[in-house]
Amino acid sequence: MLETTFLAAFLTGLLGGTHCVGMCGGIVAAMSFQGGVGKGEVSQGGRQPFRFHIGYSLGRIASYAALGALAGLIGSAAFLSDSLYPLQRGLYVLAQVILILLGLYLAGLNQSIRVLEQAGAAVWKRVQPLLAKVLPVRNLGQAVAAGALWGWLPCGLVYSVLVMALSAGSAIHGAALLLAFGLGTVPNLLLMGWAAERLRNFARNIWVKRGAGLLVAAMGVWGLFQLMR
């Protein structure tokens, strides 16, 4: 079941591209057109070097993985004793329900996971000033740091996958789950030009969204069915 959960997390990141661009597009634009770059860097038309964008994504995905590891570690406490088996089952059921809701969101049939974004607003208010301190980005190290802070932006998709990480059973599996999600977001936020536009158009196709979303939801339904067998 863990392998299908990884696939679901990746598809959530990949096909949740419209949500990602809406949430992070402003940050991407602000970082892309900052004035000035460091010594030895080349800026064309105000744009930053492409490797800075790689740095942003590396930092962001590292934050996701760290949060996933923390969630997995917290959830693993439920697996330390057989007496906590009811808690294990509860976390598992919660993960499958979140998987179903994610699938319905990707299919455009339900928006309830966006409520989770409100939970991170207080944290983001504390992180946002730190992000402002590393701008403008003038070297690759600053780009990675900015990306790591960006990873704390409140996002219903991230929080949903974090809930799933609670049932992953370990910090390693929790980190891997968020890593899979983060890699799925990369094409929409990193790639440029023809390939990215074609990918976005493909991901926005109603039949692709419905099919992939219902596939993710079906994984959650199958997980609940396995529990009842």
Q: Where are the domains of the chain?
A: 2-32+47-228
Q: Which tens digit of pLDDT belongs to each residue from 27-45? A: 655 555 554 444 444 444 4
Quickly state the pLDDT bin for 212 (edges 50, 70, 90).
confident
Express as a percent the part of the chain with pLDDT over 90: 18
Helix extents (H) in the chain: 2-15, 17-32, 50-76, 85-106, 121-133, 140-150, 156-165, 171-190, 193-204, 206-228
Q: Is 225 helix (H, G, I), strand (E, B) or coil?
A: helix
Quickly state the pLDDT bin for 16 (edges 50, 70, 90).
confident
pTM of the model: 0.79
Q: Record the tokens describing residue 70, joined without a space.
A: 């923390």
Q: Which tens digit of pLDDT belongs to each residue from 39-77? A: 444 444 455 677 888 898 899 999 999 999 999 999 988
- The pLDDT value recorded for residue 88 is 81
Quickly state the pLDDT bin for 188 (edges 50, 70, 90).
confident
- The pLDDT value recorded for residue 203 is 60
Q: Which tens digit of pLDDT belongs to each residue from 86-141? A: 888 888 898 889 889 888 888 888 888 877 777 777 787 888 888 888 878 888 89
pLDDT at 193 over 50: no
Question: Residue 211 to residues 59, 65, 215: CA-CA distances in angstroms?
Answer: 31, 28, 6
- The pLDDT value recorded for residue 224 is 84
Quickly state the pLDDT bin for 200 (edges 50, 70, 90).
low
pLDDT at 18 over 90: no
